[in-house]
Chain A
């Protein structure tokens, strides 16, 4: 895990973990005082995992999400994303890494206003330089995957919260990223919509996608396969959720 994978010849490289954090700290300067948002986190997430990162507000989970998502860089420690050491990458390269390797889903959906669902989903492909025809095909396929084919031309403000979030999920997975990173994806949704969105994540994970959720809701975390708990900027527990969820049991018992 601590090896720098890029130093190995191509043929001998093992499949790198999607996320490998080693002793990552993040310190903010707030006026005169320093705030230690992350105090030295080490974490490995392998391909195909379905992980919830939990913590109360102020536990450092947002900072963790920013660093995992390459929106922010660690103050110290190292981070490999899909085998790429992000330390020392400049702004342009970080943007490319975000574009190719990560699909973001946010609490407040964050679709571009006045832009159709399909165009929103096409956007990451546009920044990746994919041609118009292929963009459209892939965006339609992604929209189909979240069950919203009929809403392709709708604007964000013409859709319900659950639908918007599913469009956001489609946008996250359209680039075929190594990691789908969701920050409180159900935080603004009612329980029915939450359920829909979680179903989408579960089916994506069943199809082999690596999904990381940041959440403070225990019932959301329970539907994942692994829960990492943060407190005061440190990992306090890291356990495999039993049976890949209560839902499986409930479904079996039904």
Chain B
């Protein structure tokens, strides 16, 4: 008997009990659909975490002075000296011999200021830093140039501006390069020449990373009130993603020895956001596996439904099996016939489940945009068919093992 004949015979068998067959198919449909949608939800949330990691910048660690020192002695130790990050510390960290995993160290001093150009005026975050800050924070210069070492050395009054600031100050679309903007903070006022425009960048947090003006940190002296010779915040960039943790350790060690304390007592907040997000990403993937497993259980239940209905079918058609055997059907033909029916049920359920799963994945579910992966679709479908084979085998084998005499006598 050819596959086609098995199929047509199976279809005839299934259509004899349309409602029953449809309900069995529904069981598999729900299983497959659930696997696809739930895995897509898990996948969607892990993709959003990954996007946040990417937006973080490249392999950076933020070290912030907690500000506890300078106001009083340490509450936990005997230490009385205020801990600081000095220009010398930055130099040590930048030394490849002392800190082999650190690519660059950038001081950061940010302040909210008012910027104006001609009639336009807006509030913007000024970040006073070194040239290494831009690659560390994944900023790229779209037009003009970035700040460079000579700007830092000469305390040049130059600024690289972000897209939001650009559109706020230059609503007419004029070329900003070479123009002078005024920056006011409290009583201080300074004039900066725009030397470059940053490309638009995605947000990690709620703040708009494009509403910025980047200036050399040396220029901030006398302009921004927070400026001192020490730095309250630095951005450390590791050479590669694997070296982030090592870079964090090296930076901490250098700061600890400079401040004559231990890493554990270091009064700085070290934020390694990548490791935080990696933890979150692994949690998400555990979550995805869990969701998939729950859905797979419903697929299993669907499989038991197939087995149940096939057992009923075999019992109902005992006489037919007897007739077929009497006229010479070999064992394999009977086995094949009923196995095909079971597999056809799971095949139909699988196909419908894939359709439902793909349609369902188009909708936002509990705030997550599901992303259906081809792997999960193919896997769910293949598993569904395998479930049909597995759960169809026992009833089919039972049919094939019937003795023709007994089967013919069955009423």
A residues engaging B (CB < 8 A)?
Answer: 66, 69, 71-72, 91-92, 95-96, 98-100, 104, 106, 110-115, 123-124, 126-128, 171, 175
Contacts and interface: CB of A to CB of B under 8 A. Distances in A.
B74 interface: no
B327 to A, nearest CB: 5
Interface string B322-359: 11111111110100000000000000000000000000
B329 A127 contact: yes
B328 A99 contact: yes
B5 interface: yes
Contact of A112 (B324, B328, B405): B324
A95 B405 contact: no
A127 B327 contact: yes
B405 A72 contact: yes
Contact of B328 (A66, A96, A111): A96
A91 B404 CA distance: 10
A95 B319 contact: no
A113 B17 CA distance: 13
Interface of B: 1, 5, 12, 16, 319-320, 322-331, 333, 404-405, 408
A95 B330 contact: yes
B328 A95 contact: yes
Contacts of A112: 320, 323-324
A217 to B, nearest CB: 21
A104 B330 contact: no
Contacts, number: 59
Contacts of A123: 324, 327
- Most chain A CB within 10 A, of B1, B324, B327, B405, is at B327
Given A110-B319, A112-B320, A126-B5, A100 B12 contact: no
A77 B255 CA distance: 102
A250 B12 CA distance: 48
Contacts of A175: 328
Contacts of A72: 405
Given A71-B404, A110-B319, A127-B1, 12 more contacts: A92-B330, A95-B330, A98-B327, A99-B329, A100-B328, A106-B323, A110-B323, A114-B12, A126-B5, A127-B327, A127-B329, A127-B330
A115 B13 CA distance: 10
A98 B403 CA distance: 14
19 contacts: A71-B404, A92-B330, A95-B325, A95-B329, A98-B325, A98-B326, A99-B328, A100-B328, A104-B326, A106-B323, A106-B408, A110-B319, A110-B326, A115-B12, A123-B324, A126-B5, A127-B1, A127-B327, A127-B333
A83 B130 CA distance: 104
A107 to B, nearest CB: 10
Contact of A104 (B327, B329, B405): B327
Contacts of A171: 327
B327 A91 contact: no
Nearest to B1: A126
B262 to A, nearest CB: 82
B331 A91 contact: yes
A111 B322 CA distance: 11
A170 B323 CA distance: 15
A104 B408 CA distance: 12
Contacts of A126: 1, 5
B327 A96 contact: no
Contacts of A96: 328, 330
- Most chain A CB within 10 A, of B12, B319, B323, B329, is at B323
Nearest to B333: A127
A110 B320 CA distance: 8
Given A110-B319, A112-B320, A69 B326 contact: yes
A115 B11 CA distance: 12
A14 B408 CA distance: 35
A82 B404 CA distance: 21
B17 to A, nearest CB: 11
Contacts of B324: 112, 123, 127
B70 to A, nearest CB: 92
A114 B16 contact: yes
A99 B331 contact: no
A66 B333 CA distance: 22
B14 to A, nearest CB: 11
Contacts of A115: 12
Contacts of B322: 110
A183 to B, nearest CB: 9
A71 B331 contact: no
A84 B123 CA distance: 104
A214 to B, nearest CB: 13
A235 to B, nearest CB: 22
Contacts of B329: 95, 99, 127
